[in-house]
Amino acid sequence: PGFEVRPARPEPITALVQGRRYSMYDYTPAQYATLIRLIAGLRRALPRIRLAVPRDPQGAVVQAVLPKEALGAWSGLLGHYHVSEHKQDPGPAFNWEQLLRGVKALEAPLAPAQER
């Protein structure tokens, strides 16, 4: 009851993914909240998963397939477009920074005092 499907940001986001321009609406707050909880749970079960995403030298999230060597060495979070050049998801509107902040905030109360 009362559930409304509204994107987290009201305007479509346009950016290059795999070198092609895509436009899409953002995910919903409920989708982000669910994914944040899922990733926090996976990291508790699999602590070697780093809370990081692939970034270019300027610090922007890479929105293309990773080179084979980089992919093999990666131990953080990935989108499908990091794994296959035929994929464009999670897409240009996906807010990686919001996701990382959300997981970090959810995990903070669970961390031992010396790790905070």
* pLDDT at residue 108, rounded to an integer: 85
* pLDDT score of 89 more than 80: yes
* pLDDT score of 116 more than 50: no
| Partners of 20 in the β-ladder | 17
Mean pLDDT of 15-19: 95
Q: Is the dihedral of CA 25, 30, 31, 37 positive or negative?
A: positive
Angle between helices 96-107 and 29-45 (to 10 degrees): 50
Q: pLDDT class for 30, splitting at 50, 70, 90?
A: very high
Longest dimension (CA), the chain: 48
* pLDDT at residue 113, rounded to an integer: 52
* pLDDT score of 32 more than 70: yes
Q: What is the mean pLDDT of the chain?
A: 92
